[in-house]
Chain A
Amino acid sequence: MLKGIGASQGFGIGKAVVIRDTNLDYSSVKFTDSDHQKKRLHSAVADFSDETKSLVAELKKAAGNKEAEILEGHLVMLEDPFMLAQMEEAIDNGSVAEAAVDSICTMFINMFSGVDDELTRQRASDVKDIRDSLLRILLGVKSVDISSVPKGSVLIAKDFTPSMTSQINRENVSAIITEVGGVTSHSAILARAMGIPAVLSVVNAVEKSRTAI
């Protein structure tokens, strides 16, 4: 038996479905010129914005307007001219768009992670979600389609970002298990709003659940 934090009430019994992290390695991407890299960045931001707006609409139906604000916050964060200006500056200094996104978002993640306040620390998870989504778009990597899991699935992942959670079809998902997070994390808030049982902060849940597939 593994122990974690009961973050959303209820009992989930089903087949384990492990969601693996997407490979977002960009080391093979070569720098061309800064204008081209900035164009790629802005195109990725525009795609991210469209994708997120669509997820917001789905989340409003699945969890409610208040909960959808979590994802709307991602749009607001990325619309911050300071964040984008920093990324463009990194490109001007010779970074590819992927490296610019990674370095600037990681700077914000580290900044938020080091704060004592739990709620502020949760912003690190938001920026991580934004970073991973932008990298995925830039690299042309297809996102994991959580919405198509079969009925009675218990989803297990290192973390469920708000954008991942918003894709969940609650009719098919019996429970959520993650290796990180707590009762105030966005995945917990969304799980409660969707009425899905959740156990978070289960050490090595992904590794130990592989035998359960």
Chain B
Amino acid sequence: MIIADGFKGKVFTDPTEEELEEYKTKQAAYLKEKESLNEYFSKETVTKSGVKSMCTATSARLRTHRTYCKTAVRA
């Protein structure tokens, strides 16, 4: 078994049980978040009072951008 952490650039070629569990938890949380953000990705950004806004970001900040948009849609 091997673990690759694409966020921090880490590779565990012979992970311990603890490391494996830690990364399984991280992976599940990341995939859940990704799925949740996808739900909002194509939605219009508008507040409860009807104010529309435009979310813009560079691709490098896509994750932050999507989180921001999600927050704005929920507001």
Total chain A interface residues with beta-carbon distance under 8 A:
32
Total chain B interface residues with beta-carbon distance under 8 A:
21
CB–CB A199/B5 < 8 A: yes
Give complex CA distance A1, B15 in Å. 8
Residues in A neighbouring B10, C-beta threshold 8 A? 1-4, 6, 199
Nearest neighbor of A4 in chain B, beta-carbon distance: B9
The yes or no answer to B27 lying at the interface (CB within 8 A) is yes
Q: A1-B11, A208-B13, A211-B14 are in contact. Are A9 and B23 (CB under 8 A)?
A: no
Contact with B along A1-28 (1 / 0, CB 8 A): 1111111111111111000000000000
CB–CB B2/A212 < 8 A: yes
CB–CB A2/B14 < 8 A: no
Q: Which of B6, B14, B27 is the one whose CB lies under 8 Å from A6?
A: B6
CB–CB B13/A11 < 8 A: no
Give complex CA distance A116, B26 in Å. 38
CB–CB A11/B5 < 8 A: yes
Q: A4-B11, A10-B30, A11-B23 are in contact. Are A209 and B2 (CB under 8 A)?
A: yes
The yes or no answer to A202 lying at the interface (CB within 8 A) is yes
Contact with A along B12-38 (1 / 0, CB 8 A): 111000001001101100100000000
Give complex CA distance A11, B11 in Å. 10
CB–CB B8/A6 < 8 A: yes
CB–CB B13/A209 < 8 A: yes
Closest 10 CB pairs of A and B: A197-B6, A175-B4, A6-B9, A11-B27, A12-B4, A2-B11, A16-B2, A4-B9, A10-B6, A212-B13
CB within 8 Å of B: which residues of A? 1-16, 154, 156, 174-177, 197-200, 202, 205, 208-209, 211-212
List 7 A-B residue pairs with CB atoms under 8 Å apart, sorted by A's residue number.
A1-B12, A9-B63, A11-B4, A13-B23, A16-B1, A211-B14, A212-B1
Known: A1-B10, A11-B4, A200-B9. 12 other contacts (CB 8 A): A2-B10, A2-B12, A3-B10, A6-B9, A10-B6, A13-B4, A16-B1, A154-B2, A175-B4, A197-B5, A202-B11, A212-B2
